[in-house]
Chain A
């Protein structure tokens, strides 16, 4: 047995080194959703598009995005594509371009308590990084902030240092255009989900104009914006007491300008009024010295205070930090694409999950006559029997449906109860708007199963289902009524045809049809079945020709109507 040389701590220490985040992502692309070649293009579009939309909305510009996808060569299953995405946003100051596109974890949205699509500042630089790893091609970024000059950068990521490496710069005439255009080369497999992603993004963002120019003439989408109203800009809010923990409380207490704890609570937290403060004191039962300044609280006191704040009943968090699409806008976004028989939307009021507000919006588009591009029969959820589309903060989620709380809630909502039958082509859209959404991973493909989310989503779907069911029932009723009218008309027409045959004349006039409530269908029945059984107009009196010419026939001259038994006149 060979003696194994022991490694000393010193040797180990030599091997230790800091790795750059770029290197980390380069070796673990699945963490940001780039693990499969099928997902490559949709995820890249997603990362670039969300940045464009966030930028446009912050700048108050109605977004318009051009997406161009071209095949570069053919290598069997895997192809190289050039993806170019161009927006009409405010553009990026040239100095910042290398940081934005070449450095991971560089961003403006991290830790900000308001709804936004992006969070960490990984996405778009990850696209550049992945493109460069797989193909060796550099990204080309063009941007114009003033409409006069376009700055062109050819750049890549320096993986070791997590910085951008600019290979070339240049200038072009902008011709009035502001915004950003980024072009990358991707090695990927083409999939129908590209179209689906674009369609769904457009559906949830009705203020967005989208132009997609794909591989061939058929692979084209033009979706004009359906509203000129920009979504309300979310406002950053204070933390909500129900989600407070020791660390947050300590940081806030140390830098607050308030002298008294009660003022500190009211001033630094969302939705805290005097009654909440009193309740917190009640729960604390003197474990916190009320005379101390917030900064002077010790560890136990802070901990107790955090627990009490979580336990106290507080109103739901302010919705200002959220930007729900709004029922009407949602409906506008969906109707034109799907042409449903009818559509209902539900917006729940905001709830908090550990102090982070969120709200759920649901649309059900019932019995759609049009299809979304890239959404085939196979995308129908087998359990619910409808298409389930998931959105988070106005971004569609396409992958990892298995572990998603929305899918689970939708399946548990029992849509079949509401007669949203599986044979109709119905779409269920679930939009979760929130701050710090609990994604299952950094690739933001699905929301974790969290009780608060599950409950809200399920209730929203059920509420919407009930609204739809009302429509379905009323339609069924009116259908039944129409069928009943037709049925009556046919049966009574046949009855009268036979009676007329016996009588040798048309016995009844249209008032018969009116009395039985089917006069509105008579022309249809006449047309369809040629059942001409009603007298055209009522003759003045049943004056009849004598048939045999005998004397007896002279009895029936026209005469005033003899009502011998008036009581019988209202025999009905």
Chain B
């Protein structure tokens, strides 16, 4: 079959995309689009767009909106994929979307870079009916997110599930089988763009607080300070900008009690450090903000419980995680661990250890065992910690520090000395 082409005298970007599309090489399209300059892309779309099409909306976003580099790349990659699809479909050819593969077998770990995808891709091809159904939904989702961005709205995974369900339920073989299916589609969008879904305004629940002498410009350009009171970290924190700061370090804390105590006792103010409340396993916004702070050169010290799970929490802040291996910008590799460790049992917690210890549950022990095989826990420190858990089958939590202080009156001094010592020991920061 003869292949129809547009006449493309000058637009190099379009030629690249068209060539790659005709060869069904969507990886090449990804590279071209994510490397493209924004104004080149706008130029191409100006020439291609039709009135009231999603493509025209893409054009408007790229032309007029304030976007981070990651946001504009996400939008450009998706548009380029759609262009490729148009070229293929216009020639009655099947096409193959390529997305980064993220599983245990296809990620690599590096102590500095954390987890990263090895570059293996998985394919979805329209010549396979099941995969074509996936691509149809994906295409709908692309239109949906671009409209979301145009409207300056946000959506969540649940939003996407409902809207997909509403769209496809009436057709046989197209109904969604639970939210898991739409979640996987969003995941595919992330693996195609290789950027967080937050860049497409698909946000996670806001979780986490920040406190300290830090001034931030949010995704809409509004400036706010975190010095007067703690500020909530939204799902879009990755799009924020750190305007200025006056802290010597930032300490992300697992537990609410200790976070509030350090703030109320003015420990943070007097030591000149910032605080971040993680609230258990940190949300993506939280991790992204920590990364932004770290990039500014602020030392990060993670303060968590003393248990196999807390090790995971700390390490996800420090090294990223396997299922986010395709995303950069979610971990601060220079961060250090300030939490309770095995050595503290005989020092900071010596007097109270008997009363603050808890036995490990079966689940905890299993976690410790599994930790031994995790790539990011292979250094001597973490091996030692996990082996300690397996050997002693004991754990404790951050609240133990308050008990160790003796009385609420002595807490302030105790926290201060603890943080001073740990920051000095782990990060060489004097406060």
Pairwise interchain contact B89-A499, C-beta atoms closer than 8 A: yes
Q: Taking the nearest CB of chain B, how far is it from the CB of A562, in angstroms?
A: 6
Q: Taking the nearest CB of chain A, how far is it from the CB of B90, in angstroms?
A: 5
**A-B contact list, 10 entries, CB within 8 Å:** A487-B173, A495-B135, A503-B53, A504-B49, A514-B92, A542-B4, A552-B46, A555-B10, A568-B22, A572-B93
- Decide yes or no whether B319 CB sits under 8 A from chain A: no
Q: A494-B136, A507-B90 are in contact. Are A557 and B53 (CB under 8 A)?
A: no
Q: Taking the nearest CB of chain B, how far is it from the CB of A52, in angstroms?
A: 58
List residues of chain B with CB within 8 A of the CB of A508. 89-90, 92
Pairwise interchain contact B94-A491, C-beta atoms closer than 8 A: no
Nearest CB in chain B to that of A535: its residue: B90
* Among B139-147, B287-295, B358-366, B394-402, the stretch in contact with A: B139-147
List residues of chain B with CB within 8 A of the CB of A378. none
List residues of chain B with CB within 8 A of the CB of A571. 3, 22-24, 91, 93
Pairwise interchain contact B82-A499, C-beta atoms closer than 8 A: yes
Q: A553-B47, A555-B10, A565-B19 are in contact. Are A498 and B86 (CB under 8 A)?
A: no
Q: A501-B54, A502-B139, A507-B86 are in contact. Are A494 and B4 (CB under 8 A)?
A: no
- Decide yes or no whether B264 CB sits under 8 A from chain A: no
Q: A507-B89, A507-B90 are in contact. Are A502 and B142 (CB under 8 A)?
A: yes
- Cα–Cα, bound, A218→B46 (Å): 80
- Cα–Cα, bound, A265→B172 (Å): 75
Within 8 A of B (CB), among A515-572: 515-516, 529, 541-542, 544, 547-548, 550, 552-553, 555-557, 559, 561-565, 568-572
- Cα–Cα, bound, A490→B173 (Å): 8
Pairwise interchain contact B47-A504, C-beta atoms closer than 8 A: no
Q: Which of B9, B46, B139 has the most CB atoms of chain A within a 10 A radius of its CB?
A: B139
Pairwise interchain contact A491-B89, C-beta atoms closer than 8 A: no
- Cα–Cα, bound, A512→B24 (Å): 16
* Among B126-134, B376-384, B410-418, the stretch in contact with A: B126-134
- Cα–Cα, bound, A428→B222 (Å): 82
Other 11 A-B pairs with CB < 8 A, given A492-B126, A515-B1, A552-B46: A487-B129, A492-B132, A502-B82, A504-B50, A507-B89, A547-B49, A555-B9, A561-B2, A561-B3, A568-B22, A571-B24
List residues of chain B with CB within 8 A of the CB of A555. 7-10, 47
List residues of chain B with CB within 8 A of the CB of A215. none
CB-CB nearest 9 A-B residue pairs: A504-B53, A504-B50, A495-B136, A498-B139, A515-B92, A512-B92, A502-B54, A568-B22, A494-B136
Residues of B within 8 A of A (CB): 1-10, 19, 22-24, 43, 46-47, 49-56, 82, 85-86, 89-94, 126-127, 129, 132-133, 135-136, 139-140, 142-143, 168, 170-174
- Decide yes or no whether A346 CB sits under 8 A from chain B: no
- Cα–Cα, bound, A95→B64 (Å): 117
A515: contacting residue among B3, B6, B93, B142, CB under 8 A = B93
Pairwise interchain contact A556-B132, C-beta atoms closer than 8 A: no
- Cα–Cα, bound, A568→B25 (Å): 12
List residues of chain B with CB within 8 A of the CB of A491. 129, 132-133, 136, 173-174
- Cα–Cα, bound, A266→B9 (Å): 100
Q: A487-B173, A495-B135, A508-B90 are in contact. Are A564 and B140 (CB under 8 A)?
A: no
A503: contacting residue among B22, B86, B172, CB under 8 A = B86
Pairwise interchain contact A556-B143, C-beta atoms closer than 8 A: no
Q: Taking the nearest CB of chain B, how far is it from the CB of A571, in angstroms?
A: 5
Q: Mark A380-396, 1 if CB is under 8 A from B, else 0.
A: 00000000000000000
Q: Taking the nearest CB of chain A, how far is it from the CB of B269, in angstroms?
A: 52
- Decide yes or no whether A72 CB sits under 8 A from chain B: no
A504: contacting residue among B51, B142, B170, B172, CB under 8 A = B51
